[in-house]
Amino acid sequence: MPATLEANQDLNHLQIAGVTKTYESVRALSNVSLVVKRGEIFCLLGPSGCGKSTLLNVIGGLITPDSGSIELGGRDITAIPMQKRNVGFVFQNYALFVHMTVRDNIAFGMEVRRRSSAEISRQVEALLNLTRLHGKEERYPRQLSGGEQQRVAIARALATEPEILLLDEPFSNLDAKLRVELRSEMHRVQRESGVTTIVVTHDQEEAFALGDRIGLLDAGSLVQVGTPEELYARPQTEFAARFVGESNLFSGQTESRGGTMGIVCEGHFIPIPGKAGGVDERETLLVRPERVSISAERSASDPVFAGTVREVTYRGVGWRYAVDTAIGRLLVVDPTARSRRADVGGAVYLNWKVDDSFVLPSTAEVRM
Amino acid sequence: MRFNLLRVYSWLMAALIVMPIAVVVTVSLTAEGSVRFPPQHWGLRWFLEAFTERSFVQAFLFSVEAAAAVAVIASVLGLTSALALVRYSFRGSKFIQGFVMAPLLLPHLVIAIGLLQLFAALGITTSPGGLIAGHVAVVFPFVLRLSLGGLAGIDPNVEKAAYTLGATRLYVFRRVTLPLMASPVLSGAVMAFLLSFDETVISIFTSVPGRTTLPVMIFNYAEQRSDPLIAAVSSIMVIVAIIAIAIADRSVGLLNLLSGGQVGELNELNH
């Protein structure tokens, strides 16, 4: 992070420090610390049960943490009940007021705050515009499509001009095509309103499409925080490498052979990039499938591994191969090819540039 | 074949339920001075008689009054108890839930005798409050069941959403929980009204002189005389019940609710 950003306290809109929550001996959150910047979309990503929803509920005040503190806009809100936090919360099932019209749903928070009716109408108008719900204001939730219901939930949450917008798996109840549409719609709404936003999702693609930054959670711990590019190119742990995108991972002891550093995996030497570290340390190497090239002829440069194709899948955008080699099964994605390079059972050679591989930081060994 | 048998069976069962009522209504439409089925001559004579008989009119009015009071009290108790049992599960809440259902299982006679002794011990023997309290006790389980079902149908996230928007507990109850509970609570009120209007055993034991309910009046009258007046009064009771159910079904879908239909159809109510 550039020093200029760090200097400006206001840019750190939400600060979570050492938050822990335990349910009957199960650690839902384990010492989570996190900073969310003003105006960004921050995605909490992780498999189900990793604690991402619990963390969102803690931020919203719906769950009280056992320990730790939460600061929002420079104010410690750890002990403040959800009624007084001024957060906008969008529930997974939207939780709309089914007995109220779209207009009344959106106006609810402002009526609680006893705003004047002129101000309420003006704000409702603005939000109907923002979420493109014009003409639907007198409808009841059950008369709306899933996508429209979601937009009502977002408009209702934004109506009180919250400090922060929290969304819990907002796209999980929608079909695939609509999901992609609403994702960019939500992105537009967030950019126009400029509200700091946290989105919980289990879908890596969604996190990449929406998130300015992503926080990856596993078993109640924050594993890594970074931009989508950082998470994909430089995962800090094996879990991060496996959860974000597809991966080929090799573990072994480091060795130096002919001035090249590498690891020995299944008796085979695989060169690793970067400055020479110590010899005889256990390291894990990551090679993304699209960095591996597949061909029938042996290429000149190392590393090269011979293998047999076990699976070929047409992806629309190129092909995906599963290839058995001496160092294990490798995934290869070949997005630019016009035709398939090998059939199942075919003998192929796999090759990649050493600089396209990445050694996971050694902390990876801690969490296996 | 099997389908037809099932149909015949269904109609027979329905007839079994409706037949006694049909006989009473038919008998009440006689122009003669004694009970005979079917009547030789038809007429509304006994209905006019019933409306001019002061004691019956008074009993009818008292029954309506008492049933209305029972409906209101039981509904409020049912709703608040359901909220307490569901929203704040405390130690023994399961036990209490089972306990308040007890009047469903106990013979009303047992409850009535118990109440009589209790009121005697407390010295309340001249107030209609005892009768109302007795009725509330026996209709409460029905009302509570409906309220519990209605509350189970409300997504807890909806209330949480209201809280995150800044609403206080009272505000959420008034603007969110109560409107969503309108259907089961109103159904419960109608049920309570009908059960109370119909209740005989408890009323016999807890009626105070001069303030008797219609069923007790009919019971006493039938012991001494057997003219078609009883049939006419009984028919009026049936008509009141039918009207109440029709209104309730129109407005809140009572029949749907009682037959295990989806709760939460109250949205229809708002249109």
Helix (H) or strand (E) holding A32: strand A26-37
Mean pLDDT confidence for A299-314: 88
Q: Hey, how many other C-beta atoms are within 10 angstroms of the C-beta on A147?
A: 17
The DSSP result for B198-259, as a single string, is H--HHHHHH-BTTB--HHHHHHHHHHH--STHHHHHHHHHHHHHHHHHHHHHHHH-HHHHHT
Q: What pLDDT, on a 0 to 100 scale, did the predictor assign at position A10?
A: 59
Cα B178 to Cα A143, B30, B60, B97, B266, distances in angstroms: 22, 48, 32, 21, 12
Of residues B160, B165, B267, nearest to A109 (C-beta): B165
Q: What digits encode the pLDDT tens for the residues B9-63? A: 999 999 999 998 999 899 889 888 888 888 888 888 889 988 888 888 999 999 9
Mean pLDDT computed over B62-77:
95
Out of A62, A99, A160, name the one closest to residue B180 (CB): A99
B267 reaches A (C-beta below 8 A)? yes
State how far the Cα of B139 lies from the Cα of B145, in Å rounded to an integer. Answer: 10
Half-sphere exposure of B84 (CA within 13 A, CB side): 14
At A321, list the tokens: 């191969």
Residues in B touching A82 (Cβ below 8 Å): 160, 163-164
The answer to whether A107 touches A120, Cβ cutoff 8 Å, is yes
Looking at chain A, how many residues does it have? 368
Do B29 and B44 touch, CB atoms closer than 8 A?
Answer: yes
B158 to A113: CB separation less than 8 angstroms, yes or no: no
pLDDT tens digits, one per residue of A134-181: 999 999 999 999 999 999 999 999 999 999 999 999 998 888 888 888
- Around Cβ A196, how many Cβ atoms within 10 Å? 21
pLDDT at residue A20 is higher than 50: yes
CATH fold for domain B53-270: MetI-like fold (1.10.3720)
Q: Is the CB of A103 inside 8 Å of chain B's CB atoms?
A: no
Tell me how long chain B is: 271
Distance between CA atoms of residues A113 and A161, nearest Å: 12
Cβ count within 10 A of residue A102: 28
pLDDT of residue B102: 78
- A-B interface: how many C-beta pairs under 8 angstroms? 67
- Of all residues in chain B, the percent with pLDDT exceeding 90 is 37
Residue B52, CB-side half-sphere exposure with 13 Å CA sphere = 6
Of A53, A82, A104, A108, which to mutate for an interface test with B (greatest number of B Cβ within 10 Å)?
A108
Query: For residue A81, is pLDDT > 60?
Result: yes
Output the six-digit token pair for B129. 């409050």
Residues of chain B neighbouring A83 (CB-CB closer than 8 A): 163-164, 166-168
Q: How far apart are CA A305 and CA A86, in angstroms?
A: 58
What pLDDT score does A313 carry?
92
Q: Do A60 and B270 touch (CB under 8 A)?
A: no
Q: Which residues have a Cβ under 8 Å from the Cβ of B168 and sit 6 or more positions away?
A: A83
- The answer on pLDDT for B268 being more than 80 is no
Cα of B159 to nearest chain A Cα, Å: 8
Contact (Cβ atoms closer than 8 angstroms) between residue A327 and residue A354: no
Chain centre to alpha carbon of residue B68: 10
Q: Check residue A325 and give its pLDDT.
A: 93
ipTM of the complex: 0.84
CB atoms within 10 A of CB A282: 12
From the list A87, A97, A99, the residue facing B164 with the nearest CB is: A87
Residue B41 vs residues B19, B31, B226, B227: alpha-carbon distances, Å: 21, 5, 18, 15
- Given a cut of 70, whether residue A5 has pLDDT beyond it is no
A43 to A272, B38, B152: CA distances (angstroms): 31, 80, 33
pLDDT at residue A368 above 80?
A: no
Question: In the numeric block, which tokens belong to residue B271?
Answer: 């249109």
Nearest by CB to A83, from B167, B175, B180: name it. B167
Q: Identity (one letter) of the amino acid at B231?
A: A
Pairwise CB contact (< 8 Å): B164 & A85: yes
Residue B264 has pLDDT above 80, yes or no: no
| CA–CA distance, B84 with B88 (Å, rounded to integer) | 5
Q: Render pLDDT for B169-183 as a digit per residue (tens, 0 to 9).
A: 999 999 999 999 988
Q: What is chain A's alpha carbon radius of gyration, rounded to the nearest angstrom? A: 25
State the amino acid at position B185 in one-letter form.
V
Pair A174, A92: CB distance under 8 Å? no
**Would the CB atoms of B175 and A93 count as touching at under 8 Å?**
no
* Closest-CA distance of chain A to residue B156, Å: 8
pLDDT of residue A362: 61
The residue in chain A having the minimum alpha-carbon distance to the alpha carbon of residue B181 is A99
- Which of B64, B23, B20 has the alpha carbon at shortest distance from B194? B64
Min Cα separation A145/chain B (Å): 17
Using CA atoms, how far apart are residues B184 and B119, in angstroms rounded to an integer? Answer: 32
Residue listed under structure tokens 């259907």: B183
Tens of pLDDT, residues A211-236? 999 999 999 999 999 999 999 999 99
Q: B164 and A156: CB-CB below 8 Å?
A: no
How is residue B175 annotated by DSSP? I
DSSP tag of B176: I
**Cα–Cα dist A245/A225, whole Å:** 16
Q: What is the pLDDT of residue B263?
A: 40
Which among A61, A60, A65 is positioned nearest to A17, based on CA atoms?
A65
% of chain A residues with pLDDT over 90: 75
Give B166's contacts in chain A (Cβ within 8 Å).
83-84, 86, 109, 112-113, 160
Grade residue A274 by pLDDT with cuts at 50, 70 and 90: confident
Residue A82, chain B, CB below 8 Å: the answer is yes
Cα angle at A205 between A211 and A11, to 5 degrees? 5
| pLDDT given at position B261 | 44
Across the range B112-141, mean pLDDT stands at: 86
Burial class (CB in 10 A: 0-12, 13-18, 19+), A53: buried
Write the DSSP assignment of A195-243 as a string of letters: -EEEEEES-HHHHHHH-SEEEEEETTEEEEEE-HHHHHHS-SSHHHHHH
pTM as predicted: 0.81
Give 3-state DSSP helix, strand, coil % of chain B, rounded to 5: 75, 0, 20
Answer whether B164 sits within 8 Å of A95, measured CB to CB: no
CA distance B197 to B74: 14
Closest-CA residue to B180 (of B257, B262, B264, B254):
B264
- The pLDDT tens digits of the residues spanning B213-225 come to 999 999 998 888 8
Taking all residues of chain B, what is their mean pLDDT, rounded to a whole number? 85
User: What is the full DSSP assignment across B104-154?
Assistant: HHS-HHHHHHHHHHHHHHHT--S-THHHHHHHHHHHHHHHHHHHHHHHHTS
Q: Are A285 and A337 in contact (CB under 8 A)?
A: no
Question: CA of B266, closest CA in chain A: separation in Å?
Answer: 8
